[in-house]
Structure 1
């Protein structure tokens, strides 16, 4: 019939608008089943792609999960189909090699988030492909990518200047040289994770941007000058140095006292941290909201008194299994720490039952939780700005 108009006569931008208005994931997935044209609209508007691999960093696969290997030709077909992806999750795709990342180089111009956790076959060459093909990249996770080195990280940092979130945990070949290239070139860094990187002492962070607000350095061999480098930007709010390895250069934690914006501090299992460092931190970090001192055996009465006197914004304190938390130390916390709401406490052998009962009586506003040793998990997280 002349003049008859249907939805098929709508231009592509109108169909794309309709697609984005669909709230149901089922409707979005069914959109492309209508016809080839609608399938093309769906493909062009897909922004995220994640593979359900048989292996993930969160634990072993379930018995019902069928193994699925993601190889180069899979990536080629999918990336050529979805050419406007902003997020690509390849975590656990252990068969991915540098050759597979050539397709990321070809189709990654819009990518902002790339996750390569446990992709142990990716090398420095693969990082060079990412650097040349993904100029808009803001976040990358290289957790347990064991073959990458400082050279690859430097190439990546030279090509992706907009990085805000970088995960290098368990990258055993990365040292302060690579970190220096990252902090020198990427001046928008917000989150960096370097846990279990034995080659990083921290000095590579010297001169880092004030945007750096979140650092995980669990089980690292940081030195005093390294800590000073980490806090040199002045914007650090969250710092995890739990299981800090002993340094022959002295207690590195004293330098944390220069981080005046710090709100969350994790010292879990830092058995060598001393009272002098505790005192310096209580005086230099007045904004502290949560402090984990579980298994910090060298914190003694002087340290507990400093916490009670100076940490007036502290809301949560972990003292699990602290051997030198005595009755007088608990009383100092009781009489100070006016904002305290939760005290994680068990296994403190020098505490008497009477002292604990007195604390409960005088500080009914504080909830005592007898939980196992746990790491700090803030009720907020840093999100990438658009």
Structure 2
């Protein structure tokens, strides 16, 4: 159990059986977590984001793409002081107003990957403000994909190249 307390990088991409309850337990037990990839974990929602915001204060990078996170969860993450890099492609519960509020709330954010469909929905003055404060916005016009790892899981060992 002690090794889990020191966990810094976790990729559970494409795991349909991982739930918010499971990720919440990880947040509570793995407080050194700095990099988290939960892309295509469809059963992860705002409840887990609230736990991450409370217990994973070392989180610097997260990929939420295809999760069931809404404005509420994204705003909770935006309150984290160390969060620098976030990917939010294809979040069904994300609205332009929620995204705008989260972008304004993030203090240390330096890189955000967003779906291009949001660009015309956000005020240009907001985008200029965010970029003027050192955040690089990457716009992706990526089609929604539902394919998953046939086994439903993927293990990633070793140090992530983007890990701090």
TM-score (norm 2): 0.74
Any stretches of 5+ residues in structure 1 without a counterpart? 1-79, 85-107, 245-381
Q: Among 94, 104, 109, which residue is 1:212 paired with?
A: 109
Match of 1:176 in 2: 71
Any stretches of 5+ residues in structure 2 without a counterpart? 143-160
Shift of 1:135: 0.8
Match of 1:130 in 2: 26
Match of 1:278 in 2: none
Q: Among 89, 102, 111, which residue is 1:195 paired with?
A: 89
Give deviations 1:315-362, integer Å, cap 9, x for gaps.
xxxxxxxxxxxxxxxxxxxxxxxxxxxxxxxxxxxxxxxxxxxxxxxx
Other structure's SS at 1:198 match:
coil
The 1-side partners of 2:45 and 2:125 are apart by 22
Match of 1:234 in 2: 133
The 2-side partners of 1:195 and 1:139 are apart by 17
Highest Rg: 1 or 2?
Answer: 1
Q: Hey, which bits of structure 1, 4+ residues long, moved more than 6 A?
A: none
Shift of 1:197: 1.7
Q: Is the 8 A contact 1:176 1:199 kept in 2?
A: yes
The 1-side partners of 2:65 and 2:132 are apart by 21
Q: Is the 8 A contact 1:198 1:221 kept in 2?
A: no
- Considering only aligned residues, what root-mean-square deviation do their CA atoms show, in Å? 2.6
Other structure's SS at 2:76 match:
helix
The 2-side partners of 1:226 and 1:146 are apart by 31
Q: Among 239, 243, 247, which residue is 2:141 paired with?
A: 243
Give deviations 1:279-332, integer Å, cap 9, x for gaps.
xxxxxxxxxxxxxxxxxxxxxxxxxxxxxxxxxxxxxxxxxxxxxxxxxxxxxx
Q: Relative contact order (alpha carbons < 8 A, sep ≥ 6): 1 or 2 greater?
A: 2
Q: Is the 8 A contact 1:197 1:220 kept in 2?
A: no
Give deviations 1:89-135, integer Å, cap 9, x for gaps.
xxxxxxxxxxxxxxxxxxx1000111110011111111111111001
Give deviations 1:177-218, integer Å, cap 9, x for gaps.
11110011x211111001122322213222211x31111112
Shift of 1:232: 7.4
Shift of 1:220: 4.7
Shift of 1:383: 3.5
Match of 1:112 in 2: 8
TM-score (norm 1): 0.33
Other structure's SS at 1:140 match:
strand
The 2-side partners of 1:142 and 1:212 are apart by 19
Matches within 5 A, 1:314-353: none
The 1-side partners of 2:113 and 2:56 are apart by 21
Shift of 1:219: 4.8
The 2-side partners of 1:175 and 1:158 are apart by 17
Matches within 5 A, 1:263-278: none
Shift of 1:242: 3.0
Aligned residues: 140
